[in-house]
Amino acid sequence: MSRPGAPVPPGGPLPWRLARGASVEADGDVTFAVWAPRCASLAVRLFGAGGVTRAELPMQAGPAGVHTARAAAGVAAPGDDYAFVLPGVGTRPDPVSRLQPAGVHGPSRIVAPGAFAWSDAAWTGLPRGELVFYELHVGTFTPEGTFAGVARMLPHLRELGVTAVELMPVVAFPGDRNWGYDGVFPYAPHAAYGGPEALKALVDACHAQGLALFLDVVYNHLGPEGNYLGAYGPYFSDRYRTPWGDALNFDGPDSDEVRRYFVDNALHWLVEYHVDGLRLDAIHGIFDFGARHLLGEITEAFAAVAARLGRRAWLVAESDLNDPRVIRGPEAGGLGFDAQWSDDFHHALHAVLTGARRGYFRDFGRMADLAKAITAGFVYDGQHAPHRRRRHGAPAAADPGDRFVAFIQNHDQVANAYQGRRLAAAAGRDRQKVGAAILFSTPALPLLFQGEEYGEETPFDYFTSHGDPALVAAVRAGRHAEYLHLLEEGAGAEAWADPQEDSTFQRCKLRWYERDSPAGAETLAFYRALIALRRETPALANGRKDLCRADVDETARWLSVARGDPSGSAALTLANLGTAAAAIPVPDGAPAWRLALATRADLAIPSVVHAGDRLTLPPATAALFVGAQLSAGAARRPEDSPRS
């Protein structure tokens, strides 16, 4: 975790510099450095117009298999393309390429990291508790599908009230359409999205709007197409297997430089791109049984450099382990992440909200699961999980709520759990709004998925644009098998979306005109009010699980969440997730509760309720209240009497 320290003065030396790849020096020379212990000799080939070889420089083999060469300013310059020449193999792109202008199989391009004119010198980041995430996919977020397209929509996000833009992976992948998890050049922003300068411009624009920017990064595997790392060195190990094939070599022979490759990558985004944080994909797929775990090394280095930059910057993990050590510091034997995604909250809520019981939803469905996810973080914290057929997790009730990121939708859950259907389509707008009301009533940091704020119903499916026919066939088969495994009861296989078809990608693009429809405008107004209520109410934004109480009724399917704050602020959410009207008891926690927001404008809800009252709510509705101070003995007005 990071705290702002003494900032680096403008023009002063940076606290860290990338030493691999192509580095533009102060005198204009370009230094090339690549770890290639499998190559006895190496050369760097420079290309001119039309891909014609302009020069070829031998590289000097140094300690630990690192080869280097220095080209004078007149020989190589920013904007030039280059590749490494491997004996017996041919030319290959740079593993630390900053840009792949012709795709993953083409040459790399020299990029000068300091050429961009930043305007965010006064930006020091946001406190963790103020983070409200908005996850988006660059290619489908706007019609143009670029970083510039995202920047154009930042006023919408600012007005919505979110504070952190989270981009699904943006590094170079094969073709023009992909979720990004098949990236093969972890240092190179995808050229079709706009490349390095456009990504930096987006980060700069976010900071100008008061928004943080997070990148989703993948350190558990690389994509199969365009992955040339094995030609250079032992980046992979067959000692462990992952869903994507051989694991990365983080603890075997010659693993030091592999570890450095990913530690450097995290620092590269922080220093060169001014990002405010990273979300690390599926860390349970990272295998390291050394005394010092790679992830602990990353979190320590990231926090140290952020502090020297004088900025708040955060690391968030996606983990399937339900292990609180992920978010605990090294002094407690932890990995030091600032937060982790909360799948248990999503699964617990959806099992109740939609009735889903397939796949991993089998482990959920009780109202008590939802209450526990809100107040304890993990539902499974050591007990037997039927779907997993084993005990799962460890207690995290003592860990602050703002160490968890909760959501009612994200890219994975929409595509995998609901065959591409969003919650508005799968359960209806009313139930989506109830889910959102509960989300913003938890001690966790909330996350929205693109278009959720206006009830977008266009699907979000898995899509690719691989060039290898055998790989295309394998991806189709694997994805179809996974699709059938989680197929919703009563749904037909005809809904299958072929990931390789361009039409699958095109139908995932947001239909922004829906935002202006009557239903879209009403949903957007609700989300804006909900986010504003969290921002303005300390009890809703403090992350205090110890000041959070959740009560449920398994039969009537209602939920009550009461939140408190040392300042005296209090908040209460009453939600009916059942199919019939429910009379929900009003708990104590404030002298009285004043209505702040309801999921439907036509609900006849009294403006003030008191502890001991029973508020009757129709199915699929929720109401949020804030603590109200009433004078002693104040008489209730007739309109304040709750329905019963």
Active-site positions read: 281, 318
Q: How far is CA 554 from CA 435, 442, 558, 578, in A?
A: 17, 19, 7, 9
CB half-sphere exposure, 123, CA atoms < 13 A: 20
CB half-sphere exposure, 338, CA atoms < 13 A: 23
Rounded Cα distance, 558 and 540, in Å: 20
Q: How far is CA 487 from CA 362, 480, 492, 518, in A?
A: 13, 10, 8, 32
Q: How far is CA 526 from CA 429, 432, 597, 620, 623, in A?
A: 11, 11, 8, 15, 12
CB half-sphere exposure, 503, CA atoms < 13 A: 3
Rounded Cα distance, 487 and 484, in Å: 5
| Token pair in block for residue 45 | 């080939």
What DSSP assignment string belongs to 153-204? THHHHHHHT--EEEEPP-EE-SSS---STT-SEEEEE-GGGTHHHHHHHHHH
Q: Tally Cβ neighbours within 10 Å of residue 64.
A: 9
Closest to 539 (Cα-Cα) out of 410, 446, 440: 440
Q: Do the beta carbons of residue 433 and residue 622 sit within 8 Å?
A: yes
